[in-house]
Structure 1
Amino acid sequence: MTTNAEYRAAYRAENIGPKYSGRAHFGFVLAFTLGGIGLCAWRLEAVSALEWLAVPLTFLYANLVEYVGHRWVMHRNVPGLGLIYKRHAGQHHRFFTDRHMALEGWRDCRVVLFPAVLMVFFFGVFALPSGLLLAWLATPNVAWLFVATALGYYLNYELLHLAYHLPEASALLRLPFVKRLRRLHHRHHHAGLMAHKNFNITYPIGDWLFGTRV
């Protein structure tokens, strides 16, 4: 049986090119999300109290999308979405097991962060059309708040997920709320639980609603 160290070495050799930079990848995530949030904030005009409700509603919506996508796409081999399943259940969960959770360098960000092309794709296919629909059905402010909150939630997702896979000695993991959330994600990486429990990467709202939190 292949050991975790052997799998990691093989994965890096096959999937992480010599020009890949984890720092650049992380920098793109920051630039894309923070730039988008800044643009949305700049476009807001005299937001009403009712329009501000778009923020918590989008947050809850994003949490459920996170849950559903993780449970039924990343851990189920759905026709047409097999690449996502392979990358997550077949690669991410073999690279990071409950006994080997920590990345070993910036280049291992390739196994944690969403590929930049997928990030742009999902934004263009889902967030942008939804924003345009909200601008038509509600108001431009609601649309801008939706997109800004969605981008902020995604950034939060990536930052927390990356934090969970930092080495144990990381100062960030000593923060109580990060430590608590990491414990839930750590359990999810157990081979016997990963397809059944703790599907929220960020806040376990979906897991609480569907009874899958342990």
Structure 2
Amino acid sequence: MTVPQASDDPIGGAVVSTSDPDSSVSASPLVDLGDQHQVRSAMHRFATGVAAVCGLADGQPRGMVISRFAYVSSAPPIAAICIHAGSPSFPEGSMTWPVLRELPTLGVSILGEQNLDAARSLYRRPEERFSGVSWRADESGAVLICGSILNLQCRIRSSVRIGSHDLVLLDIVEAQEGLDSAPLLFHGDLYRVLDPVRQHSITGGE
């Protein structure tokens, strides 16, 4: 077993430990946490899934695509989403969320790789987003994207402004599994799909 070799250098840009004492690791520059563009670019190195949050407003579908979705609790079933609300560097917050947050019920669709075109469409201007997108609305007014891998009917539990985003907790009222396909991913400001040849299964953990 190789024991990591500790370093006396401070953590600022230095390698604190390595499992290979003979390796030569070039330290990358630190992210300037005062520069929101750098912070955003760095955080987008974390790959996420892609979800569509949609509802009926005045009889018309309104919705948006997001990458900040999290499963929070199973008892009771709760999910969370983060919505851009505006900041000094990115002053324009979401134009769609002020409409959606007033609706009694929201549909959250977890998108699969087959939903790539829908994800791209839902990133357009609000009046163009559902052009060519297959969707359905249930009796509650939740709008769901057809062909997604998971459909959730949700109600807003609470919302709090944290920095540049609104953190919104959602009570999951109904859940329905969709197509058994690979998820659509978001990484580095790009939509991506899994490489089936390089997938590995894991066990354990939560």
Measured against the shorter chain, the TM-score band is under 0.3
After TM superposition, the score normalised by the length of structure 1 is 0.22
Q: Which structure would you say has the larger RCO, counting Cα contacts within 8 Å and 6 or more residues apart?
A: 1
Structure with higher Rg: it is: 2
